Chains A and B, each alone.
Chain A
Amino acid sequence: MSTPAPPTLTVADYPLSTNRPELLRTPTGKPVTALTMDAVVSGELTAEDLRIAPETLELQAQLADASGRPQLAANFRRAAEMTAIPDAEVLSMYNALRPRASTAAQLTAMADRLETTYAAPVSAALVREAAEVYGRRRLLADDEAESPAQAATSPDAVTPALAADQTAADATTPGSPS
């Protein structure tokens, strides 16, 4: 997150992969043109090289703004912040936001961590807003029952997999043979 202010884009710059490839870099600083088969075979590239950089998400946010989609742009800006968070912690933060998974204090701590450790103020604001609404709608974990909120701190606390197109609804789907 160190480069100078990116250029302001218009919808004519889309798709960036064909119209503005010179603007695209990997999080490791490689130009997108370096992502070649030779580089894959030689072992030069790692999975980290195939991730999106926060600067690119900002470019896509500009394109979303330019095409009249402010909510999509806001999503990309939260995403830009979240590129810095390791996979396991992203998953555990998501789990901590589930209903009655965290106390107010735990959500506040998560928002603080987003803000201070990851410089993610927009995402932190979303978590603070959740804490406020959960408090009003009785969706916080009880302060005494600390255990469900382990998800907030344990990166391994991933819920069991369940296959369904619409998970909860499928459990009660009436039979509909064809």
Chain B
Amino acid sequence: MTAAAPRPAQQTRRSLRTETLEARPVNLDGFVEEWPEKGLVAMESDFDPQPSVRVEDGVITELDGRSRADFDFMDSFIADHAIDVATTEASMALPSVQIARMLIDPGVSRAEVIAVTRGLTPAKVLDVVKLMNVVEIMQGMQKMRARRTPANQAHSTSARDNPLQVAVDAAEGALRGFAELETTLGVVRYAPLVAIALQVGGQVGRGGVLTQCALEEATELELGMRGITAYAETISIYGTESVFVDGDDTPWSKTFLASAYASRGIKMRFTSGTGSEVQMGNAEGRSMLYLEIRCILMAKGAGVQGLQNGSISCIGVPGAVPGGIRAVAAENLVASMMDLECASGNDQSFSHSAMRRTARMLPQLLPGTDFVCSGYSAVPNSDNMFAGSNFDTDDYDDWNTIQRDLQVDGGLRHVREPEILAVRAKAARVLQALFEYLELPRITDDEVEAATYANSSNDYPFRDVLADLTGAQQVMDRGVTGLDLVRGLEATGFHDVAENLLTVLRQRVSGDLLQTAAVLTADFTPLSAINDANDYAGPGTGYRLQGERWEELKKLRHVTSATDPETEVD
């Protein structure tokens, strides 16, 4: 949202303070009044339905005031797949305030809350979270997030779709701590080369990092099937039937797609977010959060393990209305209380104000989520092909300092420059060797040198785009798979990287990464909501930033030595 309104001509003298405030970046942001009739309202609307449910003969015959004959396809899908028919009447009979209190009461376990939430309708869930302020929402998130250990996800893209940049920035991002790396393209035909670069670069930075390439659904699945990517999340769902159809999908097509991914052993989550329906012009007069709750329940009904939400590419919409960022925090909480993995936004950029950008992420960073950002830009925002991110490489030191100040784990760490240069140089050499092995367009030594020290795509020599696109097509025509990449890495002498990639591919055979909120640790142990279940039960319990990890996060670029104030510690 950009600031648009021309202001009235200046007739009278203005104060110098007003002029100073006018010049602040926050006033470049766009803000609008609520318009509930059109759904331009965060979460408090008289036009949202009242909670209700009726069960007859084991079938839900009324949902939030609508009878079965009048169900649209979202109602049908949610009634028949998401809501637990056996418990719904009992759960719905609980006062909303009691459920809201359960969410923040450390004496009530996560499992006890989920035993209730599995029977709730969308309007009832909204009624519950409407009672909660942001601190309570955070308190709920701390207990309800699926995985005990928080993590983070990065974007690694290039304004020139330069595969070399994607590889080295993926390597650096992985080394800094991202558990998942995501790329996408400016020129879609570049996808095979860039996806290969991301996969290989990631494994250089830290073995076990998972990668994905965001593309149209069918293409994304194809790259996954070939083993060139490890997971997928660009599977968009929407909260109204009309917008879902405009997106050329239905809950059934998306459910089929979810099973298709699982049938190939590929981790997958859906994507949704507040504001998408009103932005696409058909919110059917419902609040943004009500519609997002329908998406979350649809995702649960589909049996997908997780969801990327938190407005994502529509953040400008909730960001423009009162209470919008509270609603965004609430949608993350709802995903978690529905027992889904939550990759919690802090993704596309939404504000010119550094203060506002920081405030926007605190409700996810402070309690911790499965992925605090579902796309922290591990490249400068000028190279971010997801239309920018709320945080980018310029913010690395700030992020690390905030982790240290507040003693919270946002998934990253400070890494000394020599280590970073070493993995960047190695990732560049690995990709150079692999391209040669696969008979793809050459990566020169000059490019390797530039990549090692580069910041943005402007710092790299130009590539021959036509030759690259021909090479990309050959990757598809020749049916290159992840196994071919392993073979190439081994043949070119990068045995450790080959082993890392093979171990990631082997995970598909076990299916362990299909379980809720799964990531791979540095020793290739799958960590999910099953073996790393969130056990928060009040002060002193759950995930605590302490021990070795806390020592790691105490390190920053400049920390003065306690024993010798003239020096800095490494």
Q: Are B216 and A159 in contact, with the CB atoms below 8 A?
A: yes
Alpha-carbon gap, A69 to B2, bound state (A): 42
Q: Are B257 and A14 in contact, with the CB atoms below 8 A?
A: no
Alpha-carbon gap, A127 to B250, bound state (A): 12
Interface: A74 (CB within 8 A): yes
Q: Are B510 and A32 in contact, with the CB atoms below 8 A?
A: yes
How large, as a class, is the contact surface on chain B? 35 or more
Alpha-carbon gap, A176 to B381, bound state (A): 12
Q: Are A163 and B514 in contact, with the CB atoms below 8 A?
A: no
Q: Are A57 and B216 in contact, with the CB atoms below 8 A?
A: no
CB contact list, A123-178 vs B, under 8 A: 123, 126-127, 129-130, 133-134, 137, 139, 158-170, 172-178
Q: Are B515 and A63 in contact, with the CB atoms below 8 A?
A: yes
How large, as a class, is the contact surface on chain A? 35 or more
Interface: B509 (CB within 8 A): yes
List A contacts of B491 (CB < 8 A).
Answer: 41
Alpha-carbon gap, A57 to B261, bound state (A): 12
Interface: A45 (CB within 8 A): yes
Q: Are B249 and A176 in contact, with the CB atoms below 8 A?
A: no
Alpha-carbon gap, A70 to B483, bound state (A): 33
Query: Per a CB cutoff under 8 Å, which of A35, A59, A87, A173 touches B511?
Result: A59
Interface: A95 (CB within 8 A): yes
List A contacts of B381 (CB < 8 A).
Answer: 178
CB contact list, B1-41 vs A, under 8 A: 1-2, 30
Asked if A73 meets B303 with Cβ closer than 8 Å, knowing A123-B259, A172-B279, the reply is: yes
Interface: A109 (CB within 8 A): no
Query: Per a CB cutoff under 8 Å, which of A41, A134, A166, A169 touches B250?
Result: A134
Q: Are A91 and B221 in contact, with the CB atoms below 8 A?
A: yes
Interface: A106 (CB within 8 A): no
Asked if A165 meets B312 with Cβ closer than 8 Å, knowing A75-B303, A76-B514, the reply is: yes
List A contacts of B238 (CB < 8 A).
Answer: 168
List B contacts of A81 (CB < 8 A).
Answer: 263
List B contacts of A127 (CB < 8 A).
Answer: 252, 256
B212 to chain A, nearest CB (A): 11
CB contact list, A67-123 vs B, under 8 A: 67-69, 71-76, 78-83, 85, 87, 90-91, 93-95, 97-99, 123
Query: Per a CB cutoff under 8 Å, which of A32, A56, A165 touches B506?
Result: A32
A132 to chain B, nearest CB (A): 9
Q: Are B508 and A51 in contact, with the CB atoms below 8 A?
A: yes
Query: Per a CB cutoff under 8 Å, which of A40, A126, A159, A170 touches B490?
Result: A40
Query: Per a CB cutoff under 8 Å, which of A17, A83, A90 touches B510?
Result: A17
Which of A18, A71, A166 has most B Cβ within 10 Å? A166
Asked if A16 meets B498 with Cβ closer than 8 Å, knowing A40-B486, A71-B303, A169-B279, the reply is: no
Q: Are A165 and B72 in contact, with the CB atoms below 8 A?
A: no
List B contacts of A32 (CB < 8 A).
Answer: 506, 509-510
List B contacts of A47 (CB < 8 A).
Answer: 226-227, 481-483
B480 to chain A, nearest CB (A): 10
List A contacts of B514 (CB < 8 A).
Answer: 60, 76
Q: Are A139 and B250 in contact, with the CB atoms below 8 A?
A: yes
Q: Are A41 and B490 in contact, with the CB atoms below 8 A?
A: yes
List A contacts of B248 (CB < 8 A).
Answer: 98-99, 159, 168
List B contacts of A14 (CB < 8 A).
Answer: 512, 515, 526, 528, 530-531
Q: Are A172 and B530 in contact, with the CB atoms below 8 A?
A: no
CB contact list, A26-72 vs B, under 8 A: 26, 32, 35, 37, 40-41, 45-47, 49-53, 56-57, 59-60, 63-64, 67-69, 71-72
The 3 closest A-B pairs by CB, nearest first: A75-B303, A79-B262, A52-B265
Interchain residue pairs with CB less than 8 A apart (6): A16-B511, A50-B505, A75-B303, A126-B252, A168-B248, A178-B349
Which residues from chain A sit less than 8 Å from chain B, CB to CB?
Answer: 11, 14-18, 21, 24, 26, 32, 35, 37, 40-41, 45-47, 49-53, 56-57, 59-60, 63-64, 67-69, 71-76, 78-83, 85, 87, 90-91, 93-95, 97-99, 123, 126-127, 129-130, 133-134, 137, 139, 158-170, 172-178
Apart from A24-B509, A176-B388: 8 A-B pairs, beta carbons within 8 A? A16-B510, A18-B525, A41-B487, A50-B508, A76-B511, A78-B259, A79-B260, A97-B253
